A and B are shown apart, each in its own frame.
Chain A
């Protein structure tokens, strides 16, 4: 680490050009100008060094000083992250609020984590033990919900010569190794460098979202990636927030990247009040929020997803299942484009830099299920779910296309469904999940033997629905064959009763697999009974007028608890109803 200084030579938007630095290092941070704004070196061309500055550059003059300490942009990892809200470069926004009030004043600086706060440390190792990277030295109860494991940072190992216990602050060490190496509660990690693990594992368990259309039809595996593209108003943010609220993950990292401030205020006020479905404790206790709204500086927006994923990897390393939600990756790509254009780089498609896909790939590949460093061979995962905002809702644009190459699940949102208030507005035929095959065994063992088969039937039914709708466009519904008309109505029922789900309804917002399975089961029971009745000679009108369909549609209002019993009772009712229907 060496210090070098230079003088500002030019300013254009979020970039600053500097001359006179000796030995500048790529991607290291600098303090810029009189106000000491934070910047990062992004290009070195002869004596001209270009920085992207993480704060608004207005008021910066040519000739002001720039200092570099040769340190890459890093985040502080340790107890105190959970319940926190940080900007794109991990400045604690609550502290900024306490100091500066409503607005973020320029050049304001705070340590990300409170270094003086005392934590109750419970050691798991003792003097004389040999420890290596990733080994857990001890724990801190960070929130009521989460035990924070204090790990040996990557690259350190040795025999413990001293171990603390009880109250420790971030400024102290908890453990000393031979040769005077200290380990504290906090560690620093460069955001652009993936944290190491011992092995990547293949996906084998689903990431449970509680949303029927995702869990059953379009599952994403733990450690997988899903992208949610959709034009404005199709409900990307609601999907992200619903998953943040209800998914069965231990930790949620929510990155609001270039999006709306009011949405973040909603999360901030709702999460402490909402209960997490597994533990019944407030959601905020398992959540870290990184937010760089659209009006905050673009360079910090670019950094925000890396800050988020680094924090996600850190919790993964403790052996947790982590959900990393990025809303929206397109805003990150736009920040990249804006900076690239200020550098006057040769543009690729739609003005995005040619390295867009590479950078996106690097980000998505930081997801995964891994065997963590450390001798206990624990596993952890980071599942990435990112919203994509294609201009004009056109999926052929570069960010969607590049994301598609890396994503395992595509949840394509459709304005037409959103207009008719069908949420989640997932176009089930345009979407895909590459994890289906890998998860089939899990479904068979943990949900029901015929779950995979039912899903297959649902797919064919929905496919047939599209065909029939096309036919109706030409000949009208009255001209349809009765059996086709029945299939269509069954498909419509599946659409209403299964695919549509209200994120705002208390009982329906999260569905267990049991509930999902039994709703499906009931829909196909209805279909079979109705087909049998039709064959027997019952009028199709009589079948369709029967209130049974309405009852199936209202099954979503039953609570998760005891669902199977209620569903089975209902299916018996359906059979009885249909056997009693009179023939022509």
Chain B
């Protein structure tokens, strides 16, 4: 991000609180304007104006306020909002959460600078997402189909293999996609181990030259995390709508992002909402997630896969809750399945793809897809009921039919969900589903047309 120093400078910091500084007697500043904060020792930090009241500006400092001296430090407003220089040269590069290279290579020469907040997509300009993306994962392709331009998050718990699953999807989806496929990774607050894992896996998948990674590690400034997904999505929109790429954006971990949001909210002494996350978190998350989509008359698409960790596996926690209300479905991972050694441990009952109906059926996947999926759901739901029943009344109290459902549920988890590293075609997935359904005779009878 280029910041041209201009004449205006202020040595009027009156208060410092958490990541915020309060600058007095500032004239002409505008909301969202970027500033440079120069410390007494010449160190330069980046700030952004969050609020203006008369001549007082509240500025959030990306690198934190530690070491800022209220007398000697100087603030230079730049007259510009946060922007990122974009170019196809970004492919293969690794950058920090603020868009600066950290791979030791020289800075890129941007074609243009774009405001990272983006603009809301006109609902009348959106193209209906209806292009099936084969991920090779049965629980997704068969039951919760992903389509281009969708936003489908993975709800994970601490220690569950969400990142492995996301990378498997990226790897396998790439195979079925056209040459104009790009991956953008926006990592917020990840550990160095995870960072290493991501880069290694992308390299092994041969996807590195199609990938742009924005990495903010746990030890990096927390406020930077508020910028990372916006930068990633701005680049994604640029590649998709200017250059026709089908971009898959993986954002991880949204939980870290939301915590940074809470930190700023509390520093600004705002009235907190549920679990002290800010009341505007829904709107804030929506300005990220809603950037996925397709546009009429443009070739590319932005497909978004945010990963979040549900604190204490609680799906009603504000972060998964608000996310689920914005995104078009969710893939939920289950600790119980993970303990059973099933990979990917997708808990299919609470999973959903809202756009599935648009991406399946004749000419897209195949005729009868919806019916197979509904039957698998019903049979598995019933099998799970029986499983609960067994814990109370024992297997003896079951009818023969119930026993068949119980067996079905086990086989479904083991074979259909637990596919391991296999890359299944949609036909393989649906055939397997039909095969499993044969063991429950009544279903066939009741649901057959």
- Chain A residues within CB distance 8 Å of chain B: 9-13, 17, 56-63, 85, 93-94, 96-97, 100-106, 231-233, 237, 256, 258, 260-266, 268-269, 291, 293-298, 331, 334-335, 337-338, 341, 344, 347, 350-351, 389, 391-394, 415, 418-421, 472-479, 496, 504, 547, 549-550, 553-554, 557
Contacts and interface: CB of A to CB of B under 8 A. Distances in A.
A554 B446 CA distance: 8
A62 B291 contact: no
Interface stretch (B4-12, B179-187, B392-400, B431-439): B392-400
B283 A294 contact: yes
A262 B32 CA distance: 28
B125 interface: yes
A169 B178 CA distance: 50
Contacts of B326: 260, 294
B81 interface: yes
Contacts of A338: 279-280, 283
* Chain B at the A interface: SS class: mixed
A507 B53 CA distance: 60
B119 A478 contact: no
Contacts, number: 234
B321 A62 contact: no
B355 interface: yes
Interface in B337-370: 349-350, 352, 354-355, 357-358, 370
Give the top 8 A-B pairs by smallest Cβ distance, nearest first: A476-B397, A392-B316, A294-B286, A58-B32, A420-B381, A295-B290, A265-B126, A232-B324
Interface in B278-336: 279-280, 282-283, 286-287, 289-293, 295-296, 298, 316-318, 321-322, 324-326, 328-330
Interface of B: 27-33, 51-55, 81, 117-129, 149-150, 241, 270-274, 279-280, 282-283, 286-287, 289-293, 295-296, 298, 316-318, 321-322, 324-326, 328-330, 349-350, 352, 354-355, 357-358, 370, 374, 377-378, 381-382, 389, 392-393, 396-399, 402, 445-446, 448-449
A102 B121 CA distance: 6
A62 B56 CA distance: 10
Contact of B31 (A59, A85, A334): A59
A56 B81 CA distance: 13
A260 B326 CA distance: 6
B399 A341 contact: no
Contacts of B53: 9-10, 12, 17
A547 B448 CA distance: 12
Contacts of A105: 119
A496 B274 CA distance: 38
7 contacts: A102-B241, A233-B354, A264-B123, A420-B378, A421-B377, A475-B397, A550-B448
Chain B CB within 10 A, most for which of A338, A350, A549: A338
B392 A474 contact: yes
A391 B274 contact: yes
A476 B389 contact: yes
A496 to B, nearest CB: 7
Given A57-B31, A347-B271, A549-B446, A421 B374 contact: yes
Contacts of B117: 56, 58
Nearest to A236: B325
Given A421-B374, A477-B399, A262 B355 contact: yes
A93 B121 CA distance: 11
B445 to A, nearest CB: 5
A337 B150 CA distance: 29
A106 B396 CA distance: 68
A554 to B, nearest CB: 7
Chain B CB within 10 A, most for which of A102, A233, A496: A102
B273 A351 contact: yes
Contact of A295 (B33, B286, B295, B402): B286
Given A233-B330, A233-B352, A391-B322, 7 more contacts: A11-B52, A12-B51, A85-B123, A263-B354, A265-B127, A294-B290, A474-B392
Given A293-B290, A389-B325, A478-B397, A262 B128 contact: yes
Contacts of A93: 122-125
Contact of B128 (A61, A265, A415, A550): A265
B273 A350 contact: yes
Contact of A337 (B32, B127, B149, B279): B279
Contacts of A291: 123
Contacts of A549: 446
Contacts of A102: 121-122, 125, 241, 295-296, 298
A341 B377 CA distance: 43
A83 B310 CA distance: 42
Contacts of B399: 477-478
Contact of A262 (B149, B378, B397, B398): B149
Nearest to A503: B357
A56 B119 CA distance: 9
Contacts of B32: 58-59
Contacts of B149: 262
Contact of B321 (A256, A337, A392): A392
Contacts of B27: 62-63
Nearest to A96: B122
Given A97-B122, A266-B358, A233 B349 contact: no
Contacts of A296: 120
B31 A11 contact: yes
A394 B118 CA distance: 34
A261 B318 CA distance: 22
Contacts of A12: 51-53
Given A10-B53, A338-B279, A504-B357, A473 B389 contact: yes
Contacts of A473: 389, 392
A104 B120 contact: yes
Given A58-B31, A60-B31, A476-B397, A298 B374 contact: no
